[in-house]
Amino acid sequence: MKLWDKGFSVDKQIENFTVGKDRELDLFLAKYDMIASKAQANMLAKVGLLSQEENEQLQVALDELLKQEAEGNFVIDENFEDMHSKIEAELIKKCGDAGKKIHTARSRNDQVLVAIQLFQKEYIKDVTAKIQQLVEIMLKKAEEHKADLLPGYTHFQAAMPSSFGMWFSAYAENLLSDLAFFKAAYHVADQNPLGSGAGFGTSFPIDREMTTNEMKFENLAVSSVGAQMLRGKTEKSVAFALAMVCGTLSKLSYDLVMYNSQDMGFVKLPNEMTTGSSIMPHKKNPDVFELTRAHCNRIQALPNDVILTINNLPSGYHRDFQILKEILIEPMIQFNNILDILIFAIPQLEIKDGYMEQEKYDSIYTVENINHKIQSGTPFRDAYKEVGLSVEDKTYKPHKEFKTEHAGSIHNLGLDLIWQKVEKFKLED
């Protein structure tokens, strides 16, 4: 069945090419098409285009389909082009003429668009909750390890003393910044396009405010042409949000791969979180963080992929948009998996001790040597030169008290201020 069937068949090769992966990918959207169809039927009954009895039939049938979908029993077989044709065929089968009427005053264009908007809204809610959970894990680890010193690196060279408290809290704060992009993407998705039809509205007296409220959209996409222009804009917004968070998580993963190495040895992964070598029995590899790094790097390419697919299109609907489902849905699932594995793995990280006692880290206290001289009355520039020369001629010795006094008070971590940001985000959300 095809919604556009006019009594003639299409060449099988053309059909296979144009349908693409829709039958598979539409299973992620079918639930939202059913929810939108319930709102559509209620609205059509209100304005007199369906009888109350017909609407009741449709509501029961759609609830049955939603139950099938929730149980994993909703299937789009080869007799149907997509979820829309499958759902409508089921409604006709269950409700007769009422099923044939539900498409009144809507197009497949606004039908798929509203399903995508609803899908993206729910997805954003789910992943932002997980990101907030990861932020809280990082802040708890920061509090737990605020006294554990960590060599701070610039240019891949040991630079100044830092701490794991600073390291964990830095990623927590950056993830909170990244969440702003998801909030923006949610705002774009939180607009109801149903009723815009093929992009030019309808002459029927439909009630778009009613469907907006019923589907819990905050806003109505007022212009029919503008509503259709959300296709691609919504996906692009989500792609940018995914890329921003993945930029942070890729850096996090890279740090942990390095910190787990023998050369640095700052963290230890439990045996259960490592893999081995088929030839070297001593190896305990941090594959989980190498894979999250690789997946995150791939996801950062998503905005470019979306832009290249739709960037030269004029207003109106174009079949090019269908490809966006192939571009986005699998990475969205992978991103969810990345968050799940990090939420599982980060609490199990063990911070090792003793590495700061190595001679190679003595030089990271040079700034503290300078500060000590300044406190004794030496001008900064003179102190800088004196300490620099002492490093060069091998007479430099870090003052032991600088090492001990840093423990537990490396800097003002400001954890309470970052926790306030977490609470502020929750309140705004």
pLDDT digits (tens, 9 = 90+) for 124-178: 999 999 999 999 999 999 999 988 889 999 999 999 888 999 999 999 999 999 9
pLDDT given for residue 47 in this prediction: 97
Whether pTM > 0.75 for this model: the answer is yes
Distance CA 223, CA 227 (A): 6
Which burial class, exposed, middle or buried, applies to 201 when counting CB atoms under 10 A from its CB (0-12, 13-18, 19+)? Answer: middle
| 256 within 8 A of 289, measured Cβ to Cβ | yes
| 101 within 8 A of 54, measured Cβ to Cβ | yes
CA nearest to 326, candidates 75, 24, 81: 24
pLDDT given for residue 4 in this prediction: 45
- Give residue-wise pLDDT tens across range 96-106: 999 999 999 99
Half-sphere exposure of 241 toward its Cβ, with a 13 Å CA cutoff?
29
- pLDDT > 90? residue 414: no
Give whole-number Cα distances, 204 to 110, 197, 225, 353, in Å: 15, 11, 17, 73
Please report the DSSP string for 12-67 in residue order. HHHHHHHHTTHHHHGGGTHHHHHHHHHHHHHHHHHTTSS-HHHHHHHHHHHHHHHH
| CB neighbours of residue 343 within 10 Å | 15
- pLDDT > 60? residue 410: no
Helix (H, G, I), strand (E, B) or coil at 336: helix
Distance CA 319, CA 125 (A): 28
CA nearest to 40, candidates 28, 27, 53, 58: 58
pLDDT given for residue 175 in this prediction: 97
* 319 confidence band (pLDDT: 50, 70, 90): confident
- Give residue-wise pLDDT tens across range 71-91: 999 999 888 889 999 999 999
Burial profile 214-234: b = 16 or more Cβ within 10 angstroms, e = fewer: bbebeebbeebeebbbbbbbb
* 403 confidence band (pLDDT: 50, 70, 90): low
